[in-house]
Structure 1
Amino acid sequence: MRLIVPGCCSDPRALPYIRLLVVAGLMALYLSLGASVFQAIEGPLEREMEDHIEKTKMEFLNNHPCVSEGDLEALLDEVIKASNRGVSASKNVTSGPNWSFGQSLFFSSTVVTTIGYGHVTPLSKPGKLFCMVYALLGIPLTLVLLSALVERLLLPATALLRTLNAALGHLYRPFTIRLVHLMIIVTTFVVFFILVPAAIFASLEPEWDFLDSLYYCFISLTTIGLGDYIPGDSPEQPYRPLYKVATTLYLITGLTFLMLTLTVFYDIPQLNLSTVFSSMKLDEDPEKMRLSGSAGPGYGMGGLVMRDHYDQRRSVVHIRPHQDDSPSPEDTTPVHARDIRLQ
């Protein structure tokens, strides 16, 4: 028996849209909360810096009465414009040109990976046109490359899941084993692509502490790319082109492992929230649809489906039974006895 509340939509197909509206409202609330917190934290510091700049300008004008305030403002405007384009007006910056091969390679990588720091940008019209065409072709190519790399990395990830199942399958439920597997992948990503690189950047960058380096790694690998911290741009930076190339390799490798982590995460049906907003029937089991291949060839509910190119078969991880698992009402076969395929 199903209780129908008057005034509420009784059509099950409308439920995903209702959930979508709820999440959209929560997102708006979350953005408003973030704006309020940033305003409260950063606002006083901004006003303090404005007062300091104004005080410094007045001291300069008092010490140099031959310079007018208008001339000083015009000079500062030109310096700010040049700085926003990646050109420094300081004589102390001798780390090399912004468009050396290493720096240009670094810029190209930030374009095709959509990180887009914005500290160095094309100045000429032909450069801007080429940048658009380059990004139009380079972004899909980068996605294809990252997807291919992730698919190969799924082979050892699946082997790890088999090993965990063999060792823990008689003690824990399949969902618990998958959580352990996910935690190992996440820990590997955080240690080797966040913490260790942050320590390296902190030792190489003279003005960065560990928090600054940690902030840079997170902002870059999540493709936010604010551009407030850029490696290799400090004055007298040794081996700057090589440093930029090494950073480019780090970004591509880190993005690949991040995609692997997300793929493993979305492969767990209980954690894949995308099914909440799906228009499928409520009585359809997403896991059964994925296993039956109805979600489309080559892809599952969680993204990539790993195929073993050596025998052209899907890799299957058999989960051992556990006494706490219960059979599905639509299927007499116990859930823990089914084949769980890692996408």
Structure 2
Amino acid sequence: MKIKEMFSLARVLSTLLLGLVYVTYVLVGGVVFWKLEGDLGQKDIGNLLLSKNRLFERYTCLNQEGLEEVAKVVQDASKAGLSLKRNSTSDGFWKFTSSAVFAATVVTTIGYGNMSPSTTAGQIFCVFFALFGIPLNLVVLNRVGKYMLAIERSFSNFLEGKTKRRTCTRFFVHLVSYLSGVLLFFVMPMMVFQLQESWTFSQAIYYCFITLSTIGFGDFVADSNPDKTYPQWYSVLMASWIFFGLAWLALLINHCIDILERLNTHFKQTWGGQKPEGKSADADVNNPDPQLEEEDKIKKPPVTE
């Protein structure tokens, strides 16, 4: 694309409009979070101060310095994955299974923050591990995503041969695919987490999305409660869910990106009178499915290089 075309009036206006929508969206989100969580946060602070004063009244031998030392012990125990309720010792966070899950959260950029390497050697290794692991993870997820699209396309072609209706068939296949993904990567894990972690359904579905979108706040982390004994299959199930769930959600997000790009193109045509590059203005009308162009390139599963 030439520089002159990049800085044409229509493109500049559409870019400014897109930036305005983005900033507005973020600011509106900030206002909503402020209103929903701000007052509650102030109440929590007040309750904590009252609890602190009651603690001093109940344990007269405890002063501010002693409270800080106790708080440090609790914080260190939480970071190490140890339970203060038990008299016996436990393995902590750095077991093989939890370490493998941690490695998965590094290369997928989830990064809950509930555990992190504390040794110099571990921190240096984490840098190089992520440096090569993140691109490798993207390549593998992209390959898995193409296989998912290939399976979906094969099923769509089979139905097209039976119904002779391309657009309706592909819309139906997309809908079934997305609903199946929601069931497999959100509903079923939500029920498992509710049983194993004793979370509410809202907390479990929140954790599922925060994990698979790689936001990873770390306020809820599965398989990390030192007061619980988890079955051996739990970590394996979690790692498999994260891997395939990331590939599926990436496809869904790419579909949303396609929709936004099409809206942007529509606005440019409506306001700027600009036609899409490399195709006629009627091309989008004849191709209403934003994933058709990508899917048409997938005639069969990709061959391993």
Q: TM-score, normalised by structure 2?
A: 0.80
Equivalent residue for 2:70?
75
Whether the 8 Å contact between 2:185 and 2:245 is mirrored in structure 1 is yes
Q: Could you tell me which of 25, 45, 49 is aligned with 1:50?
A: 45
Whether the 8 Å contact between 1:221 and 1:255 is mirrored in structure 2 is yes
Once the two structures are superposed, residues 250-285 of structure 1 have per-residue CA deviations (whole angstroms, 9 ceiling, x without a partner) of 10011122234456x379x7775397399xx73534
1-structure distance, mates of 2:251, 2:127: 28
Q: Quote how far apart the aligned CAs of 1:77 are.
A: 4.5
Equivalent residue for 1:326?
none
Whether the 8 Å contact between 1:106 and 1:248 is mirrored in structure 2 is yes
Counting helix residues as a fraction of each chain, which structure ranks higher? 2
Equivalent residue for 1:282?
275
Equivalent residue for 1:327?
none
2-structure distance, mates of 1:24, 1:194: 32
Aligned residues: 285
Q: Quote how far apart the aligned CAs of 1:86 are.
A: 4.5
Give the percent of matched residue pairs that are identical in Structure 1 and Structure 2: 27
1-structure distance, mates of 2:85, 2:298: 54
2-structure distance, mates of 1:125, 1:158: 48
Equivalent residue for 1:182?
174
Letter paired with 1:185? S
Q: Which has the higher contact order (CA 8 A, sep 6+)?
A: 2
Q: Quote how far apart the aligned CAs of 1:81 are.
A: 5.7
1-structure distance, mates of 2:190, 2:302: 38
Whether the 8 Å contact between 1:95 and 1:240 is mirrored in structure 2 is no
| Closer/same/farther in 2, CA of residues 254 and 58 from structure 1, 3 Å limit | same
After the TM superposition, which residues 14-25 of structure 1 pair with which residues of structure 2 at under 5 Å, given as runs?
14-25=9-20
Whether the 8 Å contact between 1:231 and 1:244 is mirrored in structure 2 is no
2-structure distance, mates of 1:165, 1:59: 71
Whether the 8 Å contact between 1:117 and 1:227 is mirrored in structure 2 is yes
Whether the 8 Å contact between 2:193 and 2:204 is mirrored in structure 1 is yes
Whether the 8 Å contact between 2:187 and 2:205 is mirrored in structure 1 is yes
Whether the 8 Å contact between 1:201 and 1:231 is mirrored in structure 2 is yes
Equivalent residue for 2:191?
199
Gaps of 5+ in 1: 1-9, 291-299, 312-343
- 2:209 maps to 1:218: yes
Whether the 8 Å contact between 2:197 and 2:222 is mirrored in structure 1 is yes
Letter paired with 2:130? A
1-structure distance, mates of 2:296, 2:202: 34
The CA RMSD over aligned residues, in Å, is 3.5
2-structure distance, mates of 1:212, 1:126: 36
Letter paired with 1:245? V
- 2:293 maps to 1:273: no
SS of the aligned residue for 1:232 comes to coil
Greater shift in the superposed pair: 125-134 or 300-309 = 300-309
- 2:94 maps to 1:102: no
Greater shift in the superposed pair: 192-201 or 228-237 = 228-237
2-structure distance, mates of 1:102, 1:11: 50
Greater shift in the superposed pair: 12-21 or 137-146 = 12-21
- 2:82 maps to 1:91: no
Q: Quote how far apart the aligned CAs of 1:30 are.
A: 1.0
Whether the 8 Å contact between 1:116 and 1:225 is mirrored in structure 2 is yes
2-structure distance, mates of 1:164, 1:107: 42
Counting strand residues as a fraction of each chain, which structure ranks higher? 1
Q: TM-score, normalised by structure 1?
A: 0.72
After the TM superposition, which residues 188-337 of structure 1 pair with which residues of structure 2 at under 5 Å, given as runs?
188-206=180-198, 208-239=199-230, 242-262=233-253, 265=255, 272-273=261-262, 276=265, 282-285=275-278, 302=294, 305-308=297-300
